[in-house]
C-alpha cells in the first residue's frame, strides 16, 4: 500500500492530538518496513515558519515528507494592530468583503496542490486541521472525542464551530473513522449517525519513556524546578479547561488538607492553559491555596516521567475523555490512580484504580485520603497499574491501524 499520513497538525496541535499523531506516525515506521509512506505537510495551515523536530524525525527508507505550498487565507481581524476599538470594525468589514474570493482562491490552490501530492495513494489519513478527501483513496479520520457535542457549554463558540466543521467532514467524506475507545465509538454512532461498519476501535498506546523513575537523585533534581518533593504531592496532568473538572479537584484537595493538615501535601496541576481556565485559578485563590497548589504550565516530555513517578497519587476527575492518555502514563510510571467513572476512562484504567463520580467532591476527597494514608493500598494499585499499562503500546496501535487500513483498501478495490 501507499499510505499518506498528514503531519500538518503537528505544527499547531498540543496535548493528546499532537502525541497521537506523532506516536502513531513513529510506530507505523517501526512496525511496517513494507508499505510506502508519504508524510504530508500542508504549509498554508501553519505558515511554514518552522519545522518541528518531531516532523523532521520521521525518517525511514520507505518514507518521505512532502511539503505542499498554497494560498493561505489570512484574516485582517486576526492581526494584532487591527484589533483596536475602531480598527477592529474596519478589519471585520474588510474580512467580510474578501471572504468569498480569498476562500475560493485557497480552495482552488488546495485542490491543485494536494491532488498532485497525493496522486496514486491507497490511504490518506488526515489530521484535525486539514479537511481533505483524496479522490480514489481510502480516506481515514481519527475522531478523538465528541466533547463539543456532549458538553457545548464548556467550549468557546469558535471551538464549537471548528469541531462541528471537522465532524461534518468526517461524516460526509471519511471511509474509515478510527476512535480510541468503545465509549467514543458508541458516541460517534449515536450522536453523528455514522454506521458502525465505518468505525474501528483502535486504543492508543503509551510511550516506552513512561516508566518508574527510581533514581532518587534524578527524581529530586527534576522536581526541584517545580518546587515539588517526591512522594508529597497529588498530581493532575492535562490542559486546564472545564472538561477536566479541576474546580472539583481543587475543592477536594482543600478538604484533604483540612483532614490531614500536617502532611504538607501539594497539588500539582501540569499542563497548558486552555479555554475558560480562570475558574480554576479563582477557586485556588478563594480557598487560599496559593501556597499549596503548583500550576506548572506545560512540562517537557523528558521530565514528565519524573513528574508522574514522584506523585503520591494521580487524580483524574475528568467529565469526559475520548481515551485519556494521562492516567495510562501515570500507571506506566507506577503511580496509583484515582479517576472518574466517566466515558472511556474505565476502559483505560480497568481494575487498576479507584473510581469516583465526577461531581462527587466528598467522594474524591475520600479516595485521595485513603491512598495518601495507606502505603499498602498504593503498592497494590501500583502493581495493578504497571500490569495494566503493559497491555498498551504504540506498536500495537500501529498494527491495529494497519489492519484497519488494509481491510478498507481491500473492500475499496473489490468490485461491487
75-90: pLDDT as tens digits:
766 666 667 766 777 7
| CATH class in words for 216-391 | alpha beta
Sheet strands (E) in 60-180: 63-68, 123-125, 138-142, 176-179
- Non-local CB neighbours of 300 within 8 Å, separated by 6+ positions: none
Question: Which phi and psi angles does 410 have, rounded to 5°?
Answer: -60, -45
In the prediction, which pLDDT does 94 show?
A: 67
What is the arithmetic mean of pLDDT over 158-176?
92
Parse the chain into domains and list their residue ranges.
2-205+395-413, 216-391
CATH architecture of 2-205+395-413: 3-Layer(aba) Sandwich (3.40)
pLDDT of 240-291, one tens digit each? Answer: 989 999 999 999 999 999 998 878 899 999 998 887 788 999 999 999 999 9
Sheet strands (E) in 205-331: 233-237, 266-270, 293-297, 313-316
What is the arithmetic mean of pLDDT over 284-310?
95
In the prediction, which pLDDT does 286 show?
A: 95
Closest CA to 356 of 317, 411, 406, 405: 317
Residue 66's pLDDT band, with cuts at 50, 70 and 90, is: very high
- Whole-Å CA distances, 178 to 183, 202, 338, 398, 401: 12, 6, 28, 12, 8
Contact 256, 289 (CB under 8 A): no
In the prediction, which pLDDT does 335 show?
A: 98
In the prediction, which pLDDT does 91 show?
A: 67
Q: Do domains 2-205+395-413 and 216-391 have the same CATH topology?
A: yes
Amino acid at each position: 500500500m501507499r499510505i499518506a499520513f498528514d503531519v500538518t497538525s503537528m505544527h499547531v496541535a498540543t496535548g493528546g492530538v499532537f502525541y497521537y499523531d506523532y506516536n502513531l506516525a513513529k510506530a507505523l515506521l517501526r512496525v511496517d518496513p513494507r508499505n510506502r509512506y508519504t508524510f504530508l505537510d500542508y504549509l498554508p495551515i501553519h505558515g511554514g515558519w518552522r519545522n518541528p523536530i518531531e516532523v523532521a524525525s520521521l525518517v525511514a527508507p520507505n518514507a518521505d515528507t512532502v511539503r505542499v505550498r498554497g494560498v493561505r487565507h489570512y484574516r485582517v481581524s486576526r492581526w494584532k494592530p487591527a484589533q483596536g476599538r475602531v480598527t477592529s470594525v474596519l478589519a471585520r468589514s474588510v474580512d467580510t468583503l474578501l471572504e468569498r474570493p480569498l476562500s475560493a482562491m485557497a480552495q482552488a490552490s488546495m485542490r491543485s496542490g494536494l491532488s498532485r501530492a497525493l496522486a496514486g495513494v491507497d490511504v490518506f489519513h488526515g489530521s484535525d486541521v486539514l479537511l481533505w478527501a483524496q479522490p480514489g483513496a481510502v480516506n481515514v479520520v481519527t475522531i478523538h472525542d465528541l466533547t463539543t457535542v456532549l458538553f457545548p457549554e464548556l467550549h468557546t463558540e469558535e471551538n464549537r464551530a471548528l469541531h462541528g466543521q471537522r465532524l461534518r467532514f468526517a461524516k460526509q467524506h471519511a471511509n474509515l473513522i478510527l476512535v480510541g475507545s468503545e465509549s467514543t465509538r458508541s458516541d460517534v454512532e449515536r450522536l453523528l449517525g455514522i454506521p458502525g461498519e465505518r468505525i474501528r476501535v483502535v486504543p492508543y498506546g503509551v510511550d516506552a519513556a513512561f516508566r518508574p523513575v527510581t533514581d532518587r537523585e534524578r527524581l529530586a533534581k527534576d522536581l526541584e524546578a517545580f518546587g515539588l518533593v517526591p512522594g508529597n504531592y497529588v498530581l493532575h496532568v492535562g490542559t486546564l479547561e472545564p472538561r477536566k473538572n479541576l474546580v472539583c479537584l481543587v475543592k477536594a484537595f482543600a478538604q484533604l488538607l483540612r483532614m490531614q493538615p500536617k502532611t504538607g501535601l501539594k497539588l500539582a496541576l501540569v499542563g497548558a492553559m486552555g479555554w475558560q481556565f480562570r475558574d480554576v485559578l479563582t477557586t485556588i485563590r478563594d480557598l487560599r491555596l496559593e501556597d499549596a497548589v503548583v500550576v506548572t504550565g506545560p512540562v517537557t516530555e523528558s521530565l514528565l516521567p519524573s513528574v508522574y513517578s514522584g506523585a503520591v497519587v494521580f487524580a483524574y476527575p475528568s467529565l469526559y475523555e475520548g481515551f485519556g492518555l494521562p492516567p495510562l502514563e501515570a500507571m506506566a510510571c507506577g503511580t496509583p490512580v484515582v479517576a472518574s467513572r466517566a466515558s472511556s476512562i474505565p476502559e483505560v484504567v480497568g481494575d487498576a484504580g479507584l473510581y469516583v463520580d465526577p461531581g462527587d467532591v466528598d467522594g474524591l476527597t475520600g479516595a485521595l485520603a485513603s491512598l495518601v494514608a495507606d502505603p499498602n493500598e498504593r503498592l497494590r494499585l501500583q502493581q495493578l497499574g504497571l500490569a495494566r499499562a503493559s497491555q498498551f503500546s504504540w506498536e500495537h496501535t500501529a498494527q491495529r491501524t494497519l489492519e484497519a487500513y488494509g481491510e478498507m483498501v481491500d473492500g475499496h478495490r473489490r468490485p461491487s
